[in-house]
Amino acid sequence: MMTRLYSSTVLGVDGIEVEVEVDFRPMAEKRIFIVGLPDTAVKESGQRVDTAIQNSGLPFQQGIFVVNLAPADLRKQGPAFDLPIALGMIAGAAETEIDASSWCIMGELALDGAVRPVQGTLPQIMEARRMGRKRIMLPCANAHEGAPVQGVDIYPVSSLREAWQLLTSAALPAPFTNSGAEEQSDGEKEIAVDFDEIKGQSYARRAMEIAAAGGHNILLSGSPGSGKSMLAQRLPTILPPLSREEALETSKIHSACGLLKRGNGLVARRPFRAPHHTISDAGLMGGGANITPGEVSLAHNGVLFLDELPEFRRAALETLRQPLESGHVVISRASGTMTFPCRFMLAAAMNPCPCGYLGDRRRTCTCAPAQIARYRRKISGPLLDRFDLLMEVPAVDPSILASAPAGECSSSIRERVMAARRLQCSRYAGTPFRSNAALSGKALQRYCRLRPEGRDILLRAVEELSLSARAYDRILKVARTIADLEGNPEIQDSHLYEAVQYRAFEHSLRE
């Protein structure tokens, strides 16, 4: 007797439907064969499933079980096939006809029959909906991941016995609702840091506001303790909230990596990823034996912060150039090629020299000119061109720290940022662009037109600062954002002058 059920696996960050066929032949001995390109975890599921069925007290008999996971040319990974394989074996041994065509089933089994959580539930549920499976059976611990997906009914189970009763029941219970997940997500929106904790640094705060309003990449340079990391860590607090589409995109990646917090159906806030400078290329960009997303993809729709930028390996930094332009990263390995989304804001911080005190009023730099030049050459010109704003962050005078009042709070800044983003959303409706930073080609010429006087200002600045053509475009984008913050439909000369200021520092970095 043969039983057919449906499950799913994760390929990169996408779900792929897998058909689970279980054929049973009564014999005096028990043997289990699993075919269909299974990995080690799937091959071992036969022993887990056999023991779980016996310990659950479900009807069973000796025989030969052949389990086929289709499509046969797709490598199957992970323990999520335990539950559908077990249900298929029980149905075959009990000679019970079941109609599982509307179900997508996933879950790992413990030896006592308990159903354990699995990774990548959200993309698998989205794939099941696309394939027309209206009912999802999954572990109780993963129920919150399926709650945001509309058009499917979620049925969490805690044991193999409960799963069998659910599959064979004539009347199904009410599906899982997402009320608890929403409450948890609302709690996640509480923010632990705020811009009002930063005293002084008015110019740097202004640069961060412009970066947030236009989705621009920003580089901060200053001596140790000047507040570079504080500024970057608070950048997500002034960004607009995630739209539902963005939340699903982001949650899909985090679910595939097993990073969704228990009880949260969706990622509630824009991601902020801050990898250490010792990170490997695979950790930053993605890869590994089973190709998984890296930090650039985990920062999708959020912020990737690289502190101590020159301390990162130059090869790793250079790999960022293509993803910053395209918004996706392509990972090619012997096992295959994966494409992961990675639209993020890049915020980076660095010292002006190896000792960190070049230009500091209180401490003297001890670095030789050759050391400083070698330190700055770790950041290539093409990578510098990917930053829209380059900002010097001077050390704050201790008297300001002691007596200055609290700065403007994040919520006030975020209101202005959101107003500017709404203008951009309206302006770019019907186009693939979401923010000023994404503009390119003809769209840049169309939406960032300059008067003759403004063009002369920009050309003169590019010539005097020896800037590249890419830097020319980025000044235009920043000027467009400054105009949006003022609600001005035209780019004025004052907007250009301010935008040029955020490139002046680049000349000293290239020396």
Q: What pTM was computed for the model?
A: 0.89
Mean pLDDT for 183-187 is 41
Looking at residue 268, its pLDDT comes to 85
pLDDT higher than threshold 80 for residue 305: yes
Distance CA 174, CA 47 (A): 33
Distance CA 38, CA 462 (A): 58
Distance CA 195, CA 230 (A): 9
Looking at residue 170, its pLDDT comes to 85
Q: In the beta sheet, which residues pair with residue 15?
A: 10
Confidence of residue 185 (pLDDT cuts 50, 70, 90): very low
Residues 6+ apart with CB under 8 A from 316: 279, 280, 281, 284, 285
Confidence of residue 183 (pLDDT cuts 50, 70, 90): very low
Looking at residue 179, its pLDDT comes to 60
**Residue with structure tokens 């499917």?**
152
For the stretch 436-490, pLDDT in tens is: 999 988 999 999 999 999 999 999 999 988 888 889 999 999 999 999 999 999 9
- Which of 339, 346, 302, 289 minimizes the C-alpha distance to 320? 346
Grouping H, G, I as helix, E, B as strand and the rest as coil, residue 41 is helix
pLDDT higher than threshold 70 for residue 189: no
Mean pLDDT for 9-32 is 92
Instruction: Assess contact for 45 and 106: CB atoms under 8 A.
Output: no
Looking at residue 511, its pLDDT comes to 61
- Which of 198, 236, 103, 123 minimizes the C-alpha distance to 393? 198
Q: Who has greater pLDDT, 263 or 495?
A: 495
Confidence of residue 506 (pLDDT cuts 50, 70, 90): confident
Looking at residue 191, its pLDDT comes to 61
Contacts 24+ apart (CB under 8 A), 149-156: 149/122, 149/125, 152/125, 152/128, 154/125
Instruction: Assess contact for 208 and 235: CB atoms under 8 A.
Output: yes
Distance CA 13, CA 56 (A): 34
Looking at residue 182, its pLDDT comes to 44
Grouping H, G, I as helix, E, B as strand and the rest as coil, residue 34 is strand
Instruction: Assess contact for 248 and 266: CB atoms under 8 A.
Output: yes
- Cα separation values, 127 from 10, 122, 172, 262, 376, Å: 10, 9, 23, 22, 47
User: The tokens of 407 are what?
Assistant: 């700065």
Average pLDDT, whole number, for the chain? 90
Instruction: Assess contact for 281 and 287: CB atoms under 8 A.
Output: yes
Q: Who has greater pLDDT, 185 or 46?
A: 46
Mean pLDDT for 261-273 is 84
Grouping H, G, I as helix, E, B as strand and the rest as coil, residue 285 is helix
For the stretch 48-85, pLDDT in tens is: 999 999 999 887 888 999 999 999 999 898 899 999 99
397 burial (CB, 10 Å; 0-12 / 13-18 / 19+) is middle
Distance CA 388, CA 74 (A): 42
CATH level 3 topology of 2-177: Ribosomal Protein S5; domain 2 (3.30.230)
Q: Cis peptide leading into 352, omega within 30 of 0?
A: no
Distance CA 87, CA 74 (A): 22
Domain residue extents for the chain: 2-177, 195-510
pLDDT higher than threshold 60 for residue 399: yes
Looking at residue 186, its pLDDT comes to 41
Total length of the chain: 511
Helix, strand, coil percentages (3-state) for the chain, rounded to 5, are 45, 20, 40
Mean pLDDT for 330-336 is 83
Classify domain 195-510 by CATH number.
Answer: 3.40.50.300
Mean pLDDT for 175-183 is 63
pLDDT higher than threshold 70 for residue 337: yes
- In eight-state DSSP terms, residue 394 is P
For the stretch 104-125, pLDDT in tens is: 999 999 999 999 999 999 999 9
Angle at CA 146, nearest 5°, toward 144 and 152?
140
Instruction: Assess contact for 378 and 310: CB atoms under 8 A.
Output: yes
Mean pLDDT for 364-383 is 91
pLDDT higher than threshold 80 for residue 404: no
